[in-house]
Amino acid sequence: MINNQFFKYVQLLHEKYTRKPEYNLFCVLRSESDEVRLHSRFLSDLLNPKGSHNHHNAFLKLFLKHFKENFQLDLTQEVTVDNEYKNIDILIRNGKTAIVIENKIYASDQEKQLSNYYRKMKDEGYENIKLIYLTRTGYEPSDQSTDELPDKVKEKALTLASYEHDIYEWISKCTEVAARDAPLREACIQYLDIISKITNKIENQDHMEELKTLLLADSNLARFPDLFSAYNEVLVDLQFDIWNKIAEGIRQEFGELHHDSITEQESPKELVRNYVENRRNSKYYNVNVKLNGYENTYILVEQDHHIYFGIYCENGSNSPEYKEIAKKTENFVNSYRWNSMPIGIYVDPQINFKNLTPENLNYLKIEANRQRYADFIVNMLKEITTALE
């Protein structure tokens, strides 16, 4: 029976089996979500027969074996593994074969991204081209990424891979191979911890078995769909409240919102529900308002996986508005420049709304925290607009 005692027991199991965080060099040196400088670099080095691990092609063999039905390389010939070659996260080349690995942990797809990578390899003369779309849980690429990719390639040459299962299993096998190589073994173990964290994976099998037993007791399993629905509705309520707080703060400081802002739509809460339930085309919801003094330029708060804010220039990075704003805001710390945003800043704390951690949930459930979250955005935007005066 699902009651307060049920949840207390789940909490006791969590406390019993969850290890206290240990020192992790990856977390110290890089953000656990850094696709390029952490994940792609580490994975490409393991895959590279000439990598610093000094285990030749042992790890590459394990990788190919894991995907044995999809990839075949002639390991009697030279294999090259590159990181960020022509913007490809990881590229494995061997004879006339090219394996493109697109690494997507939190970043969104770019227009025709996989299509462009496939074309680049075709242009270089590769005949057997395979695409691996690597994400946390193995979801499909967006239509905009595969636009112009031939249907035959999508069906035969595109593989969906996940950190949760594929990379975790592969790295686990790499750890066994590196058993007598203490530094490499510990690096693999620490990397498995990173994977568990970004995928909310339960590592301890005894923990999983006790949770399964608990679900199968009484009518708990039959009631669980109701609980999951209620969980999603709580997420909708919390995120909808954040958007309302952001919108109200922006409206008070900068004037009436643009008509395409999420809170100005006919059913804004339904849009938030679409986002929570990962429905198609449910990203890039925003609140925006015209920035006075600049042509086709807006104050913008937008959500992909995280929420970020700044100034959006409709005319792009070559416009005089973009260049002027970029120059005036170049001294803002922890800020970024993107294609149409001369300044963009992630909200502090950085919350990945597509992969909420227990810490995130405990933070978001407190109304005062949600207000502080919105206030941070509005106050920083006030600083940015002051710098533009």
The model's pTM is 0.68
The alpha carbon dihedral of 217, 223, 225, 230 has a sign of negative
The pLDDT tens digits of the residues spanning 357-378 come to 888 999 999 999 999 999 999 9
Is the peptide bond prior to 150 cis by the omega test (within 30 degrees of 0)?
no
Q: What is the mean pLDDT of residues 61-83?
A: 86
Q: How many domains does the chain have?
A: 3
The answer to whether the beta carbons of residues 92 and 117 sit under 8 Å apart is no
d(CA 122, CA 120): 5
Q: Please check whether residues 365 and 288 belong to one and the same domain.
A: yes
Q: How confident is the model at residue 308 (pLDDT cuts 50, 70, 90)?
A: very high
Angle at 244 between CA 383 and CA 33, to 5 degrees: 70
Q: Are residues 11 and 23 in the same domain?
A: no
Residues 179 and 245 in one domain: no
Q: Regarding predicted confidence, which is higher, 22 or 208?
A: 208
Q: Same structural domain for residues 262 and 339?
A: yes
In percent, how much of the chain has pLDDT > 90?
A: 58
What is the residue range of 110's domain?
19-199
Closest CA to 192 of 219, 161, 159, 164: 164
Does residue 337 share a domain with residue 192? Answer: no
Contacts of 284 (CB under 8 A, 6+ apart): 108, 302, 303, 304
Query: pLDDT per residue over 206-260, tens digit each?
Result: 888 888 888 888 888 888 888 889 999 999 999 999 999 999 999 999 999 999 9
User: Considering 164, 199, 234, which residue would you say is the last residue of a domain?
Assistant: 199
Q: What DSSP element (H or E) covers 313?
A: strand 307-313
Do 63 and 144 have their domain in common? yes
Which pair of structure tokens corresponds to residue 259?
């008509």
**CB neighbour burial string for 263-282, b if at least 16 within 10 angstroms, e if fewer:** beeeebbebbbbbbeeeeee
Residue 127 CB coordination number (10 Å): 10
* Structure confidence by residue, pLDDT tens digits, 182-200: 999 999 998 998 888 888 7
**283, 327: one domain:** yes
